[in-house]
Each structure stands twice: as structure tokens, then as C-alpha cells.
């Protein structure tokens, strides 16, 4: 519920935590200090580092310089692999050291020693910060250096434009969220803005806007989803129209447009880009067989099932319906895609749910066919797949099921809204295409 800290300073000396924390206070942002504890390792609690964007860490955490630099580098890697998870996101590291060469050495050490399965633990950038330059013998910021320390810390996050824009964009999104919350609270009448009435009045606001969006009787089925659907357009609008950004950083960050370097030809790389844009994957995002755009794998797939549903064997579906070669069976996987009107999904209306039959086909075996009843996705690739693939859907084969019967499916992916709308439009056009009787002169 609470936003995790974005800036963390880790040091074995408690008194050395305060100068950085104090400097962030001057910047107008929060920072938490974590004391390194070699005995109970309490500093390895992951809760301290969730969402960290700037990690300040002392090179000599053990306090014993005689151990050698590699020992200190190894300890830093151990900390990173322990506290940074794949859900943390990008961050930079600021190393307490008087020797800038230590950063270069640490970078090289991380490149060669970090666990290959934990690449997400690697900082985007490592910069040195001198203790002796800014902290006196009493562990206070030296006189007349606080402004320089403040500017140097701010400079770490803007020194590389391509990294700076990631953090800038995140801050603009958080700002848009805050503006959206302000808009919601502005709906509370002035005479009701008191401690007794706030809970009830906020309830009225949330109840009113969600029921107006989805209709009375539908909100209670999933209140959070109802709120998300209601506020998403407002939030998106505020993100798109927020003009309070550093234009120079963005101009310097995106420079390869219309250059050969911006043209990607490797199929796996193309598939990853398309996956990010159009395909949600289980394990990273929650989904179920009822979700709009869910791509489902049948738990059982055999002749008994397909003959009952479609009057065809699995081989006939594969070869006659989709034109797939039977000898390539290992590269094909049957799927069903959950479609339907967005209003029906948003309001969770009762009734049968439409699922269209399709196949997941590897790139090497995919053949594009010019059929108005067949739709295929862009090329996709995920880290758990052996090779890139397409999703192919036949719009003539529709299965409708009540919600309690959808347990025959296992959710694998979810097609995101932009691509899903294209598929829905294609399905709608196919279903509603007019036909005419016409005589020809021969």
C-alpha cells in the first residue's frame, strides 16, 4: 500500500548515514539509511530496497581494509544478489570511495562475477562519491560543501541522458497519479471536508464514478478493477499532457531515430519488443481464463474433445483448418483467445464467454495465408520460449462457454488492449460481412 523508498544508503557506520539522508532532505526527496550488520545481516531485508533507484553503498563495509579490494567487491555483489529482485527495476549505485578507480574495478568485477541468472541485480551506472571531501571527522557535512554535495548527487541521476529519462518518466507518472487523486478529492464538497465525513464522502465519490462507468450492479464483482477502468483514461490523459519535463534530457536521450542502429532485424529481439508492447506473460502479470484478451492453453487436447466441440480431429484442425504440417507437431500449440465486447468484460455481464480457436506457431514453421478469416499476431518472443512465435487465430471457429466451464483452460498470455482491439475489429468485420446475390453476364 505504501510507496517503497527510492533512495537507500548502506554503511557500516551509523553516523555516516545521516549526511546523505540530510542532503536528500534538502533536495526535497526521502532517503532511508540502513546500517550494515555483519552479525545478524539485518541489512539484507529486501523490504528496504524494493523500488530502489539510487543505492549509496560504502566500499569498505567490513571496516577492514586489509582484506583486499576483491573481498569488498565480492561482498557488494553478495548484497546485490540478496536484496535486488527481478521486480525492483533499474537503479544506479553510488560508491563511497576516494579513489574513482575503485568504480572501474568494481564494474569489471561485477561484469565477470555476477550470477548470469541475476542480471537484474546489475546497476545501470556506478559513480564514486568521496567521504573525505564532504564529511568531517565528526561525521557532519563540512561547512560550505552541502550545496556541492546536493548538486553532485542530483548530477548522478542526470549524467547519462538515456538513464535520466527513465527516472524522469517515472517521476512524471507518479506526479500524474497525484494529480488524479487530487481530482478525485476535489469532488468532495467543501462543507464535507472534515475528519468525520471524509471516509463516507470518498466512498460516495468512488461509488458514483465506478457505477457510472460500469453500471449499477457490476461494480461489486471486482471493485478494484472497476476503479482501474474508471480512472485509467484520466491518468493516461494527465501523463500524455504533462508538459513539466526537461526537454533537453529527452532530446539528448533519443538520438538514433531513422538511423541503422534503430532498425532491429534479429527475430528474438523483434519478438521481445513486440512482447513488451502487446503481450502480457504469466509470472509477471496476473491473469485468468476470464480475462479480456487471455490466451489460453487447453489442459486436455485430444480427438474426443475436438470432435465434440468442432466435429474435427486434432489432425484435421491442424492441417485442414490451419494448414499446418503434421510432421512439425512439436512447434505447434493449440490456443484459445478470449474476445468479446469491452463493455461486457468491464461490466462482467453474465452469459456465455466467446473463445476463438488458434495455434501458437514457431517462426520457422509459420506461413502467412491470405484468408480474411485468419488473423495472426506480430512476432513474439519470451525468455521461457525456445524460439520466436506467432499467434494465429481462425475467426470461423468460435467456442462459447459459461464461466464455470473455463477451468478446462490454463492462462498463458494476455493480449494487450491495442492489439486486442485490432483482433476484435477483425472478428466483428468477419462476423458481420454482408453477402449479396448477383448474376453475371457470360
Computed on alpha carbons and rounded to an integer, the radius of gyration of the chain in Å comes to: 28
From 136, 159, 182, the end of a domain falls on: 159
User: 512465435: which residue's cell?
Assistant: 389
CB 10 within 8 A of CB 38: no
What digits encode the pLDDT tens for the residues 343-396?
554 545 567 899 999 999 999 989 888 888 999 999 999 988 889 999 999 999
What digits encode the pLDDT tens for the residues 290-336?
888 999 999 999 999 999 989 999 999 999 999 888 776 667 899 99
Positive or negative: CA dihedral 230, 235, 238, 240: negative
Going by their DSSP bridges, the two strands 92-96 and 126-129 should be labelled as parallel
Is residue 320 one of the residues assigned to a domain? yes
Is residue 279 one of the residues assigned to a domain? yes
Check pLDDT > 80 for residue 159.
Answer: yes
Whether residues 270 and 419 fall in one domain: yes
CB 371 within 8 A of CB 318: no
pTM over 0.85: no
From 194, 223, 256, the end of a domain falls on: 256
- Take residue 120 and report the three cell numbers written for it: 537484474
Side-by-side strand order, sheet with 32-35 = 32-35, 7-11, 54-58, 92-96, 126-129
- Cβ burial, residue 246 (10 Å; 0-12/13-18/19+): middle
Question: What pLDDT, on the 0 to 100 scale, is given for residue 348?
Answer: 56
From 125, 159, 193, the end of a domain falls on: 159
Is residue 305 one of the residues assigned to a domain? yes
Whether residues 90 and 178 fall in one domain: no
What digits encode the pLDDT tens for the residues 79-138?
999 999 988 889 999 999 888 899 999 999 999 999 999 999 999 999 999 988 988 888
Mean pLDDT of 17-36: 90
> Facing residues of 273 across strands?
none
Look at the chain and report how many structural domains it folds into: 3
Helical (H) or strand (E) element with 209: helix 198-214
Check pLDDT > 90 for residue 140.
Answer: no
Is residue 400 one of the residues assigned to a domain? yes
Whether residues 215 and 273 fall in one domain: no
| 226: containing domain | 165-256
Amino acid at each position: 500500500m505504501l510507496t517503497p523508498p527510492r533512495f537507500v544508503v548502506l554503511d557500516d557506520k551509523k553516523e555516516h548515514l545521516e549526511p546523505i539522508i540530510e542532503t536528500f532532505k534538502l533536495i526535497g526527496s526521502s532517503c532511508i539509511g540502513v546500517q550494515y550488520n555483519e552479525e545478524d545481516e539485518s541489512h539484507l531485508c529486501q523490504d528496504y530496497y524494493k523500488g530502489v533507484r539510487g543505492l549509496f553503498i560504502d566500499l569498505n563495509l567490513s571496516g577492514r581494509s586489509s582484506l583486499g579490494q576483491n573481498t569488498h567487491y565480492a561482498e557488494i555483489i553478495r548484497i546485490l544478489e540478496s536484496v535486488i529482485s527481478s521486480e525492483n527495476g533499474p537503479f544506479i549505485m553510488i560508491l563511497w570511495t576516494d579513489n574513482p578507480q575503485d568504480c572501474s574495478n568494481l564494474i569489471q568485477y561485477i561484469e565477470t562475477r555476477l550470477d548470469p541468472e541475476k542480471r537484474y541485480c546489475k546497476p545501470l551506472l556506478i559513480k564514486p562519491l568521496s567521504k573525505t571531501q564532504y564529511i568531517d571527522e565528526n561525521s557532519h557535512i563540512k561547512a560550505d560543501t552541502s550545496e556541492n554535495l546536493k548538486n553532485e548527487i542530483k548530477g548522478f541521476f542526470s549524467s547519462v541522458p538515456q538513464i535520466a529519462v527513465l527516472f524522469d518518466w517515472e517521476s512524471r507518472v507518479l506526479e500524474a497519479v497525484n494529480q488524479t487523486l487530487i481530482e478525485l478529492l476535489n469532488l468532495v464538497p467543501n462543507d464535507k471536508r472534515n475528519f468525520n465525513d471524509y471516509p463516507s464522502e470518498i466512498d460516495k465519490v468512488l461509488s458514483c464514478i465506478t457505477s457510472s462507468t460500469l453500471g449499477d450492479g457490476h461494480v461489486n464483482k471486482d471493485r478494484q478493477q472497476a476503479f482501474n477502468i474508471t480512472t485509467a483514461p484520466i491518468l493516461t490523459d494527465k501523463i500524455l499532457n504533462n508538459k513539466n519535463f526537461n526537454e533537453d534530457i529527452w532530446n539528448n536521450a533519443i538520438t538514433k531515430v531513422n538511423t541503422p542502429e534503430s532498425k532491429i532485424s534479429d527475430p528474438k529481439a523483434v519478438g521481445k519488443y513486440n512482447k513488451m508492447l502487446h503481450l502480457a506473460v504469466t509470472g509477471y502479470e496476473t491473469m485468468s481464463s476470464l480475462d479480456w484478451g487471455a490466451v489460453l492453453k487447453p489442459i486436455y487436447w485430444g480427438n474426443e474433445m475436438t470432435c465434440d466441440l468442432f466435429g474435427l480431429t486434432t489432425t484435421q484442425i491442424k492441417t485442414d483448418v490451419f494448414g499446418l504440417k503434421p510432421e512439425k507437431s512439436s512447434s505447434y500449440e493449440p490456443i484459445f483467445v478470449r474476445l468479446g465486447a469491452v463493455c461486457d468484460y468491464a461490466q462482467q455481464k453474465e452469459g456465455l464467454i466467446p473463445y476463438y480457436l488458434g495455434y501458437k506457431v514457431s517462426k520457422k514453421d509459420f506461413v502467412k495465408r491470405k484468408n480474411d478469416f485468419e488473423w495472426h499476431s506480430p512476432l513474439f518472443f519470451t525468455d521461457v520460449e525456445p524460439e520466436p512465435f506467432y499467434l494465429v487465430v481462425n475467426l470461423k471457429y468460435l467456442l462459447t462457454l459459461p464461466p464455470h466451464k473455463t477451468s478446462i483452460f490454463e492462462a498463458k498470455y494476455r493480449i494487450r488492449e491495442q492489439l486486442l482491439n485490432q483482433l476484435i475489429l477483425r472478428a466483428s468485420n468477419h462476423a458481420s460481412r454482408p453477402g449479396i446475390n448477383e448474376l453475371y453476364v457470360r
